[in-house]
Each structure stands twice: as C-alpha cells, then as structure tokens.
Amino acid sequence: MRKLYSIFLLAFFLMLMPALPSKAATTIVLDPGHGGDFDEDLGAVYPPYSERDMTLFTAQLLKAELEMYDDVRVLMTRTDNSSVTLQQRVDYAHSVGADFLYSIHYNATGTHDIHGAEVYISVQKDMYERSFAMAWNTLQELTALGMHPKGVRVRMGRSGASDYYGILRIASGYQMPAAIVEHCYLDEPTDRTFLAQGQSPVTACAAFAHADAVAIAKSLHLKSTALGTDYSTYPNMQIVVPVPLVTIDITPQMLGY
C-alpha cells in the first residue's frame, strides 16, 4: 500500500510541474545581407533600389509567410539596419540550432551581358549535398517568377580547399546547411524591368519573398494548416558528389532544366 501511495504521490507532483517548452520541428534562420551605414554595409545601390534595404524587406515578408506553416520557428540575423559581421550571423544561426541558414541578397556588376538569379552553396561535398535541394528549389521558383536561371553555383576560395564566401565557409565549419540567394541584378535593364512592375521596392520584394517561401517549404517538407498546403512528401532532387570538393557549377542546363 505504501508503494502504491508513493506512485500516486509522484504522479500528482508530475501533474503540477509545468510542461517544458518543446523545440519547433524546424528552425529556419533568414539572413538579410548587408546592413549598416558605411559604404561596405550598403551592398548594391542603384536607385530606387538599395540591396541593404531590399534584403531586409524580403526577409520580413518571407518570415511572415513561413510562420504560417506548422511547427516552424523563423529567426533573422538582423531585424533593422544593424551592421552584423559574417561570423556573428553564422554564430547566431548555430546558437539557435538552425536547420538551414538562408542568406538573402541582390546582385550587381559593372558591365552586363548576363541577368537573372543564382544560388550559391558550399564547395564541401557533404554540405553541397545537404544544401542542393534548397538551392535547386529556389532557382526553380525564381525561374517560374520570370528570372533567368543562372544556376546552382559554387565559388572556391584562394586556398583551393574551402568556400570563397564567408557565410558558406563558416556554416560548413558548423556542419550547417546554408545558401546564398542572389535574386536578380539591381543594375541590369531586364531585371530592373521586372522590379519596376512593383510600385515600390517593398512590393518588388513581395514576389521574391513568396517564391523563397515556397522553395523553403518544399525543401524542408513543411505543412501549413492555415494555407492548406502540404509539402511533407515533396520529392526533392538529390545529388551525390563523388569528390570531396565541388569545383564546377551545376547549372540548370547541365541537369536538363
């Protein structure tokens, strides 16, 4: 009887204990590129478009849509015009247990014979394989939007053994999948014509944010009761890299896109 009483007493105290908060099934960290007021913080600036501001607009809209999916936690490396180092961005994503780090950018170059969207992922074999579906789905959604697909890209650093881009290099060190999305060129006539369809830079970002949200949802097999959308069984493209480092771009043309 005493043993039975002890069991009931233990059960009673367990009922009184507050439930521990459960970790969301999926944690996504959005990284709005650039931020700050120094020249190097601004990114591409081609009036009326500022990369620093457009990355933040896009991330805010993207966050709002992703939060309509079930069991998802969406965080951002910056929420205002703050200057955040690359190390701080990736360290933050790692500290919150990010399942994916999605870095948002807009492109520019001095001279032009190209336009469109491209997505960079790590040159490291394992990180490339784990990030490829996200990069591929993003490129598909941006192409459907009207962007020319420049491809899933890599860029090797000077050492010849690691990524050129700090976000990808640091994320690889944490074994955290990541991608850098260059949505379009702010200084190229074709892409600027697309951007001009919106009445402001914010509305121009809305279409990109929705495309990103669909790509992320597909890649991470998300489901939204609110939206009536279910990508939990979406057949993501898988790729196997037979070498330790990826030294060439896997373009849409090479994959029969």
Is residue 218 in a domain? Answer: yes
Q: Answer yes or no: is 116 within a domain.
A: yes
Nearest residue to 188 (alpha-carbon basis) of 112, 92, 89: 112
**108 inside domain:** yes
CA dist 58 → 30, 66, 163, 209 (Å)? 10, 12, 25, 5
Q: What is the pLDDT of residues 133-149, one digit of tens each?
A: 999 999 999 999 999 99
Is 215 within the bounds of a domain? yes
User: What tokens appear for 214 in the block?
Assistant: 């669909």
90 to 32, 77, 101, 124, 241: CA distances (angstroms): 12, 8, 8, 17, 25
Helix (H) or strand (E) holding 153: strand 149-153
Domain count, the chain: 1
Calpha distance 235→199 (Å, rounded) = 36
The structure's pTM equals 0.87
Query: Is residue 224 domain-resident?
Result: yes
**Which residues face 28 on adjacent strands?**
74, 100
Structural domain that includes position 99: 22-230
The alpha carbon of residue 56 and the mean position of all alpha carbons in its chain are separated, in whole angstroms, by 13
User: Does residue 66 sit within a domain?
Assistant: yes
CATH number of the structural domain spanning residue 212: 3.40.630.40
Which tens digit of pLDDT belongs to each residue from 163-219? 999 999 999 999 999 999 999 999 999 999 999 987 788 888 999 999 999 999 999
Predicted local distance difference test score (pLDDT) of residue 5: 40
Nearest to 32 by CA among 72, 64, 75: 75
